């Protein structure tokens, strides 16, 4: 197997953290040029033009972080990160989705619609021009604010995002908070429970070893970890 | 159990179709006012303020269509709609996600940023004002065009979206195409494979019986089914 990725991308970090938590080693290939274009041979062989992508030894290509998680969880069930009982699985899925839709998408809206290297690249996976929409910066901030309000409330009475066990919901939420750091946005002062949880997350090997090393322009990332 | 929903919402139809395919009967409650606000007691008891939501008999609330699917698939494994082998599960998840991100979100961007009843309601689940962003109409059309190009290619060599079995990837893709019909957008003429697949989908009980009955303003829905 081989994992195609872009170090900075939160969706790729979702997979890197998962691999470290599972103790799975898979060769990785960074497939982004310095000016942040997907490069060949990746681009010509993977029509969805997005990272991460897991290529199996028989050539099958699996895209989308969730799909890659599902595949690897089935092959390596322990420790379970997608839940074991029906209820656990559903609760984890719901919170992982909220972290994604409100946190990852919120920060991505801010980032892609403001960063000078993303002019005409407002969405991933589109090979034609997708103009930036400056109004999405403000909407992205609204999404991020909702993420923080909701997750701080949830973490007030739960050790981890989806309850008493570490799961993919924590993985995506860590990627949300550190994506914020890269945009120089901090956990709000009125979210002490998220701060407590994030401090605990920073102790995990999977968080420390998955930190992106550079911004799209090559400069260091202002990440807290 | 009880399913809280809004008849018109594609995310609710994703759950309705799943229930019919499984042969599961669950009481449903429409919880939208004629001017499309979530109504009490739903709104006051479910803080995420989104539909669908499945309430279990012990009061546990499961939000997000995918989470509801995961829960019900574990309780009612047959027929499997999320896949059985690791590879099937991953392939279905990837295609379901593409249908959602490119099709559902694309149409939702067009709909929510143009419909007069959605002024200041640009996103679901936000109780404060989220202004419409007219530029998202064009971006939504770009997403929808990508959905059609990609899915027509996939359906050229696959009976169903994710291969040779009906799955949740078909469910979400049906909701995409009929969401388009409600916006008076048709399957493009250069997508014959999607038309072949959709004609087959229209024969399924789950598609026929889950069709929304009215537009947000109460008018009939121009759905092909």
Q: Which of B60, B64, B90 sits opposite A93 (nearest CB)?
A: B64
Q: How far apart are the first and last CA of chain B?
A: 29
Chain A residues near residue B128 by CB distance under 8 angstroms? 142
Q: How far is residue B5 from each of residues B29, B31, B48, B107, B167, measured CA to CA in Å?
A: 6, 6, 13, 19, 22
Beta bridge partners of A4: A29, A53
Are residues A93 and B66, on separate chains, in Cβ contact within 8 Å? Answer: yes
A3 touches chain B (CB under 8 A): no
Q: Are A41 and A29 in contact (CB under 8 A)?
A: no
Instruction: Report if residue B202 sits inside a domain.
Output: yes
pLDDT of A222: 62
Instruction: Report if residue B17 sits inside a domain.
Output: yes
Residues B112, B180, single domain; the answer is yes
Residues B28-48: tens digit of each pLDDT: 999 988 778 888 999 999 999
Residues A134, A110, single domain; the answer is yes
Q: Which of A47, A60, A93 sits opposite B87 (nearest CB)?
A: A60
Q: Which of A65, A71, A148, A149 to mutate to test the interface with B (most CBs of B within 10 A)?
A: A71
Given a cut of 70, is residue B27 above it in pLDDT? Answer: yes
pLDDT of A223: 52
Mean per-residue pLDDT over chain B, rounded: 94
What's phi and psi for A187, nearest 5 deg? -60, 125
> What does the pLDDT profile of chain A (225 residues) look like in tens digits?
999 999 999 999 999 999 999 999 999 999 988 778 898 999 999 999 999 999 999 999 999 999 999 999 999 999 999 999 999 999 999 999 999 999 999 999 999 999 888 899 999 998 889 999 999 999 999 999 999 999 999 999 999 999 999 999 999 999 999 999 999 999 999 999 999 999 999 999 999 999 988 777 777 776 543
- Full strand arrangement of the beta sheet holding A2-5: A28-30, A2-5, A53-55, A61-63
Query: If you measure CA to CA, which chain B residue comes closest to A52?
Result: B94
B150 touches chain A (CB under 8 A): yes
Residue range of the domain that includes B46: 2-75
Residues A42, A96, single domain; the answer is no
Residues A97, A167, single domain; the answer is yes
Instruction: Report if residue B214 sits inside a domain.
Output: no
Query: If you measure CA to CA, which chain B residue comes closest to A120?
Result: B139
Burial of residue B210 (number of CB atoms within 10 Å: 0-12, 13-18, 19+): buried
- Residue window 55-84, chain B: list those with CB within 8 Å of chain A: 60, 62-64, 66-68, 70-71, 74-75
pLDDT of B225: 39
- Looking from the CA of A48 toward its CB, the CA atoms found within 13 Å total 20
pLDDT of B223: 52
Name the domain boundary from B45, B75, B105. Answer: B75
pLDDT band at B104 (very low <50, low <70, confident <90, very high): very high
Instruction: Report if residue B142 sits inside a domain.
Output: yes
B145 touches chain A (CB under 8 A): no
Chain A residues near residue B18 by CB distance under 8 angstroms? none
Residues B112, B8, single domain; the answer is no
Residues B108, B21, single domain; the answer is no
Residues B125, B155, single domain; the answer is yes
* CATH label of the domain that carries residue B167: 1.20.1050.10
A135 touches chain B (CB under 8 A): yes
Cα–Cα distance measured from residue B180 to residue B193, given in angstroms and rounded to the nearest whole number? 17
Are residues A94 and B136, on separate chains, in Cβ contact within 8 Å? Answer: no
Residues B39, B127, single domain; the answer is no
Query: If you measure CA to CA, which chain B residue comes closest to A153?
Result: B47
Distance from CA of B91 to the nearest CA of A (A): 7
Residues B17, B100, single domain; the answer is no
Query: If you measure CA to CA, which chain B residue comes closest to A129?
Result: B142
Chain B residues near residue A130 by CB distance under 8 angstroms? 139, 142
Residues B139-163: tens digit of each pLDDT: 999 999 999 999 999 999 999 999 9
Q: Out of A75-89, A192-206, B111-125, B187-201, pick the least confident.
A: B111-125
* CATH label of the domain that carries residue A46: 3.40.30.10
Please state, as a whole number, how many other Cβ atoms lie within 10 Å of the Cβ of residue B126.
18
Mean pLDDT of B95-110: 98
- Residue window 161-200, chain B: list those with CB within 8 Å of chain A: none
Instruction: Report if residue A6 sits inside a domain.
Output: yes
pLDDT of A224: 44
Residues A71, A159, single domain; the answer is no
Residues B70, B90, single domain; the answer is no
Q: Which of A64, A90, A162 to mutate to test the interface with B (most CBs of B within 10 A)?
A: A90
Domain count, chain B: 2
Instruction: Report if residue A80 sits inside a domain.
Output: no
Instruction: Report if residue A186 sits inside a domain.
Output: yes
Instruction: Report if residue A220 sits inside a domain.
Output: no
Query: Which distant-in-sequence residues (6+ apart) come within 8 Å of A201 by Cβ?
Result: A170, A174, A207
pLDDT of B37: 84
Give CA angle at A174 (A184, A3), nearest 5°.
Answer: 105
Are residues B123 and A135, on separate chains, in Cβ contact within 8 Å? Answer: no
DSSP per-residue string spanning chain B = -EEEE-TT-HHHHHHHHHHHHHT----EEE-B-TTS-B-TTHHHH-TT--S-EEEPTTS-EEESHHHHHHHHHHH--SS-SS-SSHHHHHHHHHHHHHIIIIIIHHHHHHHHTT-GGGTTB-STT-SS-B---THHHHHHHHHHHHHHHHHHHHHHS-SBTTBSS--HHHHHHHHHHHHHHHTT-PPPTT-HHHHHHHHHHTTSHHHHTT-----TTSPPP----
Are residues B94 and A64, on separate chains, in Cβ contact within 8 Å? Answer: yes
Name the domain boundary from B75, B102, B130. Answer: B75
Residue of A190, A138, A12 lying closest to B132 (CA atoms): A138
Q: Are A53 and A28 in contact (CB under 8 A)?
A: no
Query: If you measure CA to CA, which chain B residue comes closest to A82?
Result: B70
Q: Which of B56, B72, B94 to mutate to test the interface with A (most CBs of A within 10 A)?
A: B94
Residues A43, A96, single domain; the answer is no
B90 touches chain A (CB under 8 A): yes
B86 touches chain A (CB under 8 A): yes
Name the domain boundary from A20, A53, A75. Answer: A75
Given a cut of 70, is residue B183 above it in pLDDT? Answer: yes
Mean pLDDT of B10-24: 98
């Amino acid at each position: 197997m081989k994992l195609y990725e872009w170090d900075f991308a939160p969706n790729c970090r979702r997979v890197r953290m998962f691999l470290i938590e599972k103790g799975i080693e898979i060769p990785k290939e960074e497939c982004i040029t310095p000016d942040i274009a997907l490069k060949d041979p990746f681009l010509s062989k993977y029509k969805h033009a997005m990272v991460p992508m897991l290529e199996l030894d028989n050539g099958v290509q699996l895209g989308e972080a969730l799909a890659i998680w599902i595949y690897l969880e089935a092959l390596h069930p322990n420790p379970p990160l997608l839940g074991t009982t029906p209820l656990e699985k559903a609760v984890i899925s719901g919170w992982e989705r909220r972290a994604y839709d409100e946190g990852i998408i919120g920060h991505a809206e801010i980032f892609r619609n403001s960063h000078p290297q993303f002019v005409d690249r407002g969405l991933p996976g589109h090979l034609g021009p997708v103009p930036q929409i400056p109004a999405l910066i403000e909407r992205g901030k609204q999404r991020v604010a909702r993420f923080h309000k909701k997750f701080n409330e949830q973490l007030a009475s739960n050790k981890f995002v989806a309850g008493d066990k570490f799961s993919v919901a924590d993985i995506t939420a860590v990627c949300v908070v550190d994506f914020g750091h890269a945009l120089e946005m901090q956990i709000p002062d009125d979210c002490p429970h998220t701060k407590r949880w994030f401090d605990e997350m920073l102790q995990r090997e999977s968080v420390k070893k998955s930190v992106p090393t550079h911004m799209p322009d090559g400069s260091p990332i202002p990440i807290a970890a």
